[in-house]
A and B are shown apart, each in its own frame.
Chain A
Amino acid sequence: MKKRYLPLAILATAALSLTACSSGATGGSGTDATGETLNVWIMQGTNTESDEFFERVGDEFTKETGAKLNVEMVQWADAHDRFVTAIAGGTTPDIAETGTTWTAEFAESGALAPLDDYVTEAGLDGKLVEGLVEAGTLDDTLYGMPWYAGVRSVIYRTDIFEAAGIAVPTTWAEFQAAIETLKTSNPDIIPFPVAGDAEQLTYPWVWGAGGEVATKKGDTWTSGLDSAKSQAGIKFYTDLALQHGSSTSGATTWKETDVLDNFAQGKVGMAVMGSWTPATILDKNPELEGKIGSFPIPGQTSGISPSMLGGSHLSMFESSKNKDLAWTFMSMMTTGDFATEWASQSGYFPGETTALDATVASADEITQAFATQMVDGGASLPVTPKFGAVQAKKTTNTMIQSILSGEKTVEQASADAAAEMTDILNKK
C-alpha cells in the first residue's frame, strides 16, 4: 500500500509499452529492467498450447522491458495450498493467475496489491467485464485484473438430436420432453447426467427458477437455497434423475470432469459444460467432430437460466519488488492481441470489453451459444472471502448428492444446506 501513485517517468514508459504491445511493433526500449526476472504462476490445463504461447509472450516481454519472464505452470488441484505455503515462506511470485473465487480471499489476507491506480492510468476504467471486476473487488478496491471468463451452457450431440427429430429446447418442459425422447430413441446413452458432486451444474436451476444462492442485507448474509423458488429448481433438476431416468446411479458421485469424460466417450446425449470444454472433448475423441452443438441453458418458461460467470484474474503480490514491471506484463496479457489469442485458444472470453466484442463477433457456431449465455445469462456467486469456505465444505454438493442418493428429501437437504451456508458466510 506504500505506493499508491506512480512516478511519472514510469507511467510514460508503461503507456509506451502498452501501445507497443497492442500494435505488435517494437516501440523503443520501454521500461529498462534489463537483468531483472519477473516470476509468474499460471494454472495448467487451461490452454493446450500454453507452452508455445508463453514462449512468444516471453520474447515480446524481453523486447519491451529487457527483463526475463519466468512462467511456472501450477496444477489447479494444489494451487491453493501452494499459494498459502508460498505466502508463509515468503516465496510468492510477482504475478499469479487466481481463480475468481480465490481473489477476494487472498486480498483479504493482505497478500495482494491494489490495482485501481494502474487500471485508471491505463484508461481501462469501465472497459473491463463487469462480472470479473465484481469478483476481483474487495472493499471497493480492485485486486484481480480480469483476464478471461467462461460460462457453462448445454453441449449436446447434434447427430443424435437430428436422428430423433428433437428441436433445441427453450423451456424446462421442452428440456424434459427432449430427455424422454432420447430415452426411447437411444436407450444406450445417458440422456442428461445429473452429477452429484458438481455445484456449478446445480446453480443454473436455482437461478433459473428465480431463487438465490445467498444475498446480503446490511452486514448479514442469508442463503436462499431453501426458498420455495430455489427448492422448485432443485426439485426439477434432481427429479430428472430420480423420476425421469435421465441419469445413472453412477452420476450420483460424478464431478464435472466425470461428465466431460463420459460425454467425450460418446455415452451422453447432452450435459451442462463449460465454454472451454469443446476443444478438450474433440481432443479426447476426434470422432465427435461436427457432431456436437451447444445451446444456452433454457429458462423455466422463457429466456435463459443463468450460469456462473467464472474465470481467472491476474493478481499482483504485495511482495513483488518491481510492481511497475509486473503491471507491464499484466496489461500485455489482459489487453490487446495476446488477450484475444489466449481466449480463442482456450475457449474462454477475454476480460476486456474491446477484446470480448472482437471474440464474440468472430465466434464459431458452438461458441455462439456460450457468448449468448455470457452476455444474457452470466451470474455471479456471493462475493465474499467466506464463500471459499462454503466451497471447501462442499455445502451445495452435499445437498445434491444426499437428494440423489435418497438420503434426504429436497426440503430437508436444501434447509440443511441453507443453514450451513448462512452460518459459514456470517462467521467473523
Chain B
Amino acid sequence: MTTTIQSPAAVGTSGSPAAGGPGPRRRKAITIAAARPWLLLAPALIVLAVLLLWPLVRVLIFSFQDYGLREIVSGDTNFIGVDNYVAALTDPQLWSVVLPNTVLFAIAAVLCTVALGTLVAILMTNLSRFWRTVVGSAIMVAWAMPAVTGTYVWVWIFDADNGIVNQLLMGAGLMDEPFNWFTNRWTFYLIVLINVVHHGFPFVAITVMAGLLGVSKEMLEAAQMDGAGPIRRFFQITFPSLKQVFTVVIILSTIWDFKVFGQVYLMPGGSGTNRSVLNLGVWSYVESFGQNQYGFGSAIAVLLTLVLLVITIIYIRVLMKEDEL
C-alpha cells in the first residue's frame, strides 16, 4: 500500500489514471486521496446533520401536514399539501400588521444598532487603555444582561403609574395625566427599539473596534496629509477596509432583529392582546403553538428562513465584489 498512496499534489498532476502503474490499484489510490478530507470532516458533518439538518428536514415535513396534538400522540402523518402556506400567506393580518411591524422594526433596529455600535467603537479606539477597559466593561454588562431581565427593566421604566419616565414628564409639567406607553403602536415599538438596541449594540461595538484597530495607520495619516477630514477619512479608508466586518455585523443583526420575540411578547399587551403590535415572532407563536397548529407554525418557520436567506444573499452581493466571494 505504501507504494501506491501518493501525496495529493502528485495525484493532482498525474493526469489520467492510466499514466503509470496498474490501473485498478491506481484508481483506488485516487479515491482514497479524494475521500481523505471528507473522512476527516465526517465526524463533524455527522454531528451537524443530526443536530441541524434533521430538525430542518422535520420542520419541512411538518409544514405540509395538519399537525396537532392528536398527531403528536398517535405519531400519524396527515399531509394536506400546501394548505398551511396558503393559509399563512392569505391571512390579511400578516400583510396589514405583522409584516409592516416586523420589517420596519428590523430596518430601524439594524440601522440604530450598527450606527450606535460603530460610534462607540470609534470612541473606544480613541481612548486610553484604562478608559477603553472601563467603557468596554460597561457595555459588556448591557450585553450580558438576559433579554428577559432587560425587557422587564424597560417595562418598569415606562410603567404608566409608577414608571420614572411618566413621573419625570409629569414632574416637569409636560403631562397632566399618566400616559400608557404600551397601548400605542409607535410608542410600544419605540420602547422595543430602545431595548433591542441597548442589548445589541455592544456586539457591534466590540466587533467593529477589533476591525478598526487593524486599519492601516499609514493610510489614515497619508489621507490626513492630503487634507481629508475625519468624515471623509472614515467613509473612504476605514469603511472600505472594514467591509467584511460590517457585512457580518449587519447580516447577524438583521437575522436577530427579524426574529425578535421575547422583547415583544413580555411587554404589556405584547402577547397578542394588543393586535396592532403583533410581529412575526409573536404572531406565529400565538397562531401555531398557542392553538396547537404545529404544521402551520412550521410553514411560517420555513417562510421566515427563506426570507432571511434571500436578505443575506442580497447583502453579500451588494457589500462584496464578485472577486471577494
Contact = CB atoms under 8 A, between A and B. Distances in A.
Interface of A: 81, 84, 87-88, 105-106, 108-111, 196-197, 248-250, 252-255, 262, 388-389, 392-394, 397-398, 401-402, 404-405, 407, 424
B161 A248 contact: yes
Nearest to B166: A250
5 closest A-B pairs by CB: A392-B290, A250-B160, A253-B268, A109-B69, A389-B291
A81 B272 contact: no
Interface of B: 68-70, 72-74, 159-161, 177-180, 182-184, 268-269, 271-276, 286-287, 289-292
B68 A109 contact: yes
Contacts of A401: 183, 269, 273-274
Main secondary structure of the interface of B (DSSP, over half): loop
Contact of A249 (B69, B179, B289): B179
Q: Which of B74, B177, B276, B292 has the most CB of A within 10 A?
A: B292
A408 to B, nearest CB: 10
Contacts of A106: 69
A81 B275 CA distance: 23
A108 B180 contact: no
A109 B179 contact: no
A394 B160 CA distance: 22
Contact of A197 (B73, B268, B275, B286): B268
B316 to A, nearest CB: 36
A111 B269 contact: no
Contacts of A250: 159-161, 178, 180
Nearest to B160: A250
Given A87-B73, A249-B178, A253-B180, A196 B289 contact: no
A248 B274 contact: no
Given A250-B180, A253-B183, A392-B286, A398 B69 contact: no
Contacts of A87: 69, 72-73
A253 B178 contact: no
Given A88-B72, A108-B70, A393-B286, A398 B272 contact: yes
30 contacts: A81-B289, A87-B73, A105-B69, A105-B292, A106-B69, A109-B69, A111-B69, A196-B269, A248-B178, A249-B177, A249-B178, A249-B179, A249-B180, A250-B159, A250-B178, A252-B180, A252-B182, A253-B160, A253-B180, A253-B274, A388-B291, A389-B290, A389-B291, A392-B290, A393-B286, A394-B271, A394-B286, A398-B272, A398-B275, A402-B274
Contacts of A389: 290-292
Contacts of B180: 249-250, 252-253, 405
A113 to B, nearest CB: 12
B273 A394 contact: yes
A262 B161 CA distance: 10
Contacts of A407: 183, 276
Contacts of A109: 68-70, 72-73
A88 B160 CA distance: 42
A111 to B, nearest CB: 5
Given A249-B179, A253-B182, A389-B291, 6 more contacts: A81-B289, A110-B74, A111-B69, A197-B268, A250-B159, A388-B291
A88 B180 CA distance: 41
Contacts of A197: 268-269, 273
Contacts of B268: 197, 253-255
B164 to A, nearest CB: 14
A393 B291 contact: yes
Contacts of B276: 407
A407 B184 CA distance: 10
A10 to B, nearest CB: 26
A388 B69 CA distance: 13
A407 B275 CA distance: 11
Contacts of A262: 161
Contacts of B69: 84, 87, 105-106, 108-109, 111
A249 B183 CA distance: 9
Nearest to A406: B183
Contacts of B272: 392-394, 397-398
B233 to A, nearest CB: 48
Contacts of B179: 249
B213 to A, nearest CB: 44
Contacts of B160: 248-250, 252-253
A414 to B, nearest CB: 15
Contacts of A111: 69, 73
Nearest to A428: B66
Contacts of A252: 160, 180, 182-183, 269
Nearest to B184: A405
A88 B290 CA distance: 16
Contact of A392 (B73, B159, B291): B291
A143 to B, nearest CB: 13
A424 B293 CA distance: 12
Contacts of A405: 180, 183-184, 274
Nearest to B71: A109
A407 B233 CA distance: 50
Nearest to A258: B268
Nearest to B163: A250
A8 B291 CA distance: 42
